Amino acid sequence: MQIFENIQLALTSLVANKMRSILTMLGIIIGIGSVIAIVTIGDSMTGAMNAEMAGFGARNVTINFQPKDNMAEITDEDGNIDWDRYEQKTATSDDYLTDAMLKDYEARFKDVLDVLSINETVGSGKATNGRLHASVNVSGCSPDRQKLDGLTMLAGRYIEKQDVDAIRSVAVVSSEFVTKYFGNKTKNDDVLGKAFTVPVNGKDLRFYIIGVYKYVKPDSQFMMGGDTETTVYVPYTSAKRLMQLPAGYSNVTVRSKKEADSSEFLTNTSAYFA
């Protein structure tokens, strides 16, 4: 009987929140990522592999690890969850991917691996310059992220290994950011070397611009109002220091070469990290 009550409650919620329901369905329909496999690293982390579909095959595989919880233990056969017993384990540096793991992976898959990008989420904020402002999402990354995201540089350069090794507070911004933050008459070359500050999670983060990439509006972006948020790329080592993150990596994206069997690549990658 409880199952039917849950269904009735869900239908009532859908009718009462039509707009939210429509947007949720759009997100499901438009989304190109699908969970492929669940893997485990260490005693406190679980991960989900997501594959972005390119044509009929999956070339981009994102390996994402999160702290384990006891959700399975506190959920009964009817789907009811005892939230009073919910616990989430605290991850340590031993639970994350290491440089040694990634180097070994690259060596084993060198014939089929096109890109390996390390990702670190910093957060979103609004950079203000007098009356001008730009909404940004600050993302820590490795040099291969440029190739992965297909970025075209308009001025300066992208993040290099030397920036990562030296933990430099440098950033690559979009042409949209230049227009919004410095004004529409500002040339991309003129902003190189200039600094900007963006508040993220209660911290004022300051970066120096080393490059400007061409902003391309996503096809799936709807006119929902508000500012356009663009990505600011910074060295992942800088992101880890700013966010005081432990050693190791929790988010890595790999991509197979065009001529490689994408399904086999996904299967073998999943098996490697299992």
Rounded average pLDDT per 10-residue block, the chain, 274 residues: 54 49 40 40 50 54 74 79 77 78 95 95 95 96 95 98 97 98 96 97 95 86 65 97 87 91 86 80
Looking at the structure of the chain, the number of domains it has is 3
Whether 72 and 170 map to the same domain: the answer is: no
d(C-alpha 44, C-alpha 73), whole Å: 15
Structure tokens, 78: 């009817």
Whether 148 and 205 map to the same domain: the answer is: yes
DSSP state of 188: G
The answer to whether position 106 is within a domain reads no
Contact 36, 263 (CB under 8 A): no
> Tell me, what's the pLDDT at 267?
85
Whether 48 and 129 map to the same domain: the answer is: no
The answer to whether position 111 is within a domain reads no
In terms of residue numbers, what domain contains 126?
116-246
Whether 52 and 26 map to the same domain: the answer is: no
d(C-alpha 240, C-alpha 187), whole Å: 31
> Tell me, what's the pLDDT at 79?
81
Whether 123 and 241 map to the same domain: the answer is: yes
The CA angle 201-239-143, to the nearest 5 degrees, is: 140
Whether 86 and 127 map to the same domain: the answer is: no
Beta-carbon count within 10 A of 44 CB:
19
pTM: 0.74
> Tell me, what's the pLDDT at 218?
75
Whether 126 and 236 map to the same domain: the answer is: yes
Whether 125 and 89 map to the same domain: the answer is: no
> Tell me, what's the pLDDT at 203?
92
Whether 21 and 41 map to the same domain: the answer is: no
